[in-house]
Amino acid sequence: MSETIESILDEHRSFKPPQGHQGNIASLQAYHSLCEAFSNDSDATWKDLATEHLNWKSPFSNVLNQQNAPFFRWFEGGTLNLSENCLDRHIDAGLGERNAIIWESEAGEVRHISYSELLANVCRAANAMLTLGIRAGDRVVIYMPMIPEAAITMLACTRIGAIHSVVFGAFSPQALKDRIEDTQARLVITADGGGRRGGVHALKPNVDAALSEGCQSVEHVLIVRHAGNDIEMKAQRDLNWHEALHAESEHCEPLAVDSEHPLFILYTSGSTGKPKGILHSTAGYLLWARLTMLWTFDFKPESDVFWCTADVGWITGHTYSVYGPLACGGTTVMYEGVPTYPDPGRLWKICADHDVTIFYTAPTAIRALIKAGDEWPNQHDLSGLRILGTVGEPINPEAWMWYHNVIGKGRCPIVDTWWQTETGGHMIAPLPYATPTKPGSATLPLPGIDIAVVDEEGQEVSDGGGLLVLRKPWPSMLRGVWGDDQRYIDTYWEKFKGKYYFAGDGARRDEDGYMWIMGRVDDVLNVSGHRLGTMEIESALVSHEAVAEAAVVGRPHDIKGEAVCAFVTLKGDVDDASAQALATQLRAHVTKEIGAIAKPDDIRFSNSLPKTRSGKIMRRLLRDIAAGREITSDTSTLEDQSVVQQLQKSR
């Protein structure tokens, strides 16, 4: 995204926070004093926040245990139940009739689910799991469309201490199988299908395919009847969700678990190997989900309607479609469908219809909607919006300005939030009524978060770009990589010898201390705000019988941010006509192995790949070629000089 980075570096506009609002953090001064409280006594500040914001069954005795770093332990000795904090607590406070979830389907069906109704369903689902023999610590894989039952299932797991692992519904049977096997899940919860672009995206057949070989750990599959597509039910193994829940009581005692009890595993791509199972634990994650809702979104649960467009298959959907808003006792909107169906005004119509006040989406969606034209948002009454958020990738200043002017009519602060699956919640973000914003900058670290930009040796850089690190542990940090402690250490802590958490992003801090995120510095692509490992896509390609070798890089893309470009060498020769057919086959093959989000946009065939004399693929060179840029890398170490011309011609 070279143009974008240059325009970001030239960006000098600044926008003051709107006046006349009583924000949860009301001024820059209030922000600085909270930051100061953390620097004076971080343990005491966390202790106060955790005591005030969470309902404990028994209090914690120790704020942070660093003895076994980087395996940190937070709020040791405390016990609590997450679903109780998200449900019972609000009902006890008299909010049982408040909408917890407003759900809309693509076809326009709407459901309002109150806190009392949500609790009753969560209890039934939790009891159904208990009946199936699921106990605390067991893993449950959730493979669902964006329907309330997805949130109900997640909360039901937390009620009994089961560990959920949500797998994004567009992932392939193979990807689902890998995750089931890695977690050794005993139960899979799915739906017959989900609504997408006016049709049905079948899910249950993918579960059948995933379970057809291996996956010995799975004893049962629970199926929500939703889309009405034909499905096969396997006797003994498969059960109907509605029947199972109907048979259960709507009361289920919440299990008090330890603060550090594993809460969920969510897979994400890295630069090496298969996706990693990022492990989060209960108290710290919940605390940060709630605090960031209150701080970054200035959430006022009594009057706000919050809508995060992310699917529950991603961390953004976990923290900000489900746990954050519910931990605060507020209303969250869920939409099952594509943003442009039946027309590009759909998101704005939903905002107007449900009186959404805080809206949170990804830059890729904003860019796609800019292209569709201003007439779409202009058809809807967006006057109820007060805060607009973005996440997932750097937002280019043009998109930021459009969001600000056309959607927010210049009234709504834009909160550009930087964070990761691993961080659990926001790390860098403006506070809407305190922090002046600059288009393209995620601005300042949140209180309690210690961010630095350092060079390869870990020295802080004052000028120019560097690597983004977190210098202190924080409550919602990942607790490890499921089943692979060494990989946790190697990926995040090895680079700076255990001293800093290495995020994998490049960043620059400007003269005001504002952070400008420059994108990944490793072999991870960010396609439409989704993380994809180049190696994962390469492995998928070489598993095709015709492929000898493959190298995958990103190239700038107007809407997706990055597009997937694959350079492929084949085992035999192919003529141009068969190359076309093979490219189509390879795209389908990657879709089958991983899912459509990983499907290469470009496939280029060549006789060999550019390598150094020591045999390393020259990725920078490939990135220049993919982008059609002038070649900036030194090609003198290239083993076969003619390969560059051949690749440039291979479009």
**Residue whose CB is less far from ligand WTA, 520 or 604:** 520
Binding interface with ligand WTA (CB under 6 A): 268, 314-316, 391-394, 416-421, 442, 503-505, 517, 519-520, 526, 531
**Residue whose CB is less far from ligand WTA, 466 or 610:** 466
Half-sphere exposure of 290 (CA within 13 A, CB side): 21
Q: Min. distance of Cβ 329 from ligand WTA in angstroms? A: 24
Q: What is the DSSP string of 537-563?
A: HHHHHHTSTTEEEEEEEEEEETTTEEE
**Residue whose CB is less far from ligand WTA, 70 or 519:** 519
**Residue whose CB is less far from ligand WTA, 26 or 521:** 521
Half-sphere exposure of 53 (CA within 13 A, CB side): 23
Question: Chain-centre distance of CA 475, in angstroms?
Answer: 18
Q: Min. distance of Cβ 266 from ligand WTA in angstroms? A: 9
Q: Min. distance of Cβ 530 from ligand WTA in angstroms? A: 7
Q: Min. distance of Cβ 496 from ligand WTA in angstroms? A: 16
CB contact at 8 A, 425 and 319:
yes
CB contact at 8 A, 80 and 282:
yes
Q: Is 270 helix (H, G, I), strand (E, B) or coil?
A: coil
Q: What is the arrangement of strands in the sheet containing 561-570, beginning at the earlier edge strand?
A: 547-557, 561-570, 602-605
d(CA 110, CA 131): 31
Regarding beta strands 451-454 and 387-391, do their DSSP bridges make them parallel or antiparallel, or are they unpaired?
A: unpaired
Which 3-state string (H, E, C) describes 495-531?
Answer: CCCCCCEEEEEEEEECCCCCEEEEEECCCEEEECCEE
d(CA 178, CA 180): 6
Residue type, 112: H
**Residue whose CB is less far from ligand WTA, 85 or 268:** 268
Nearest 10 degrees: Cα torsion 533, 539, 542, 545: -130
CB contact at 8 A, 110 and 102:
yes
**Residue whose CB is less far from ligand WTA, 315 or 647:** 315
Two tokens, residue 635: 């090609």
d(CA 45, CA 63): 10
For the chain, what is the largest distance between any 2 Cα atoms, rounded to a whole number of angstroms? 74
Two tokens, residue 185: 């899940």
d(CA 473, CA 423): 10
Which of 378, 354, 286, 351 minimizes the C-alpha distance to 325? 286
**Residue whose CB is less far from ligand WTA, 270 or 284:** 270
**Residue whose CB is less far from ligand WTA, 83 or 361:** 361
Query: Which residue in the shown chain puts its C-beta closest to ligand WTA?
Result: 421
Backbone angles phi, psi at 164, to 5 degrees: -95, 155
Q: Is 335 helix (H, G, I), strand (E, B) or coil?
A: strand
**Residue whose CB is less far from ligand WTA, 270 or 473:** 270
Q: Min. distance of Cβ 127 from ligand WTA in angstroms? A: 33
**Residue whose CB is less far from ligand WTA, 508 or 611:** 508
**Residue whose CB is less far from ligand WTA, 121 or 526:** 526
Regarding beta strands 547-557 and 561-570, do their DSSP bridges make them parallel or antiparallel, or are they unpaired?
A: antiparallel
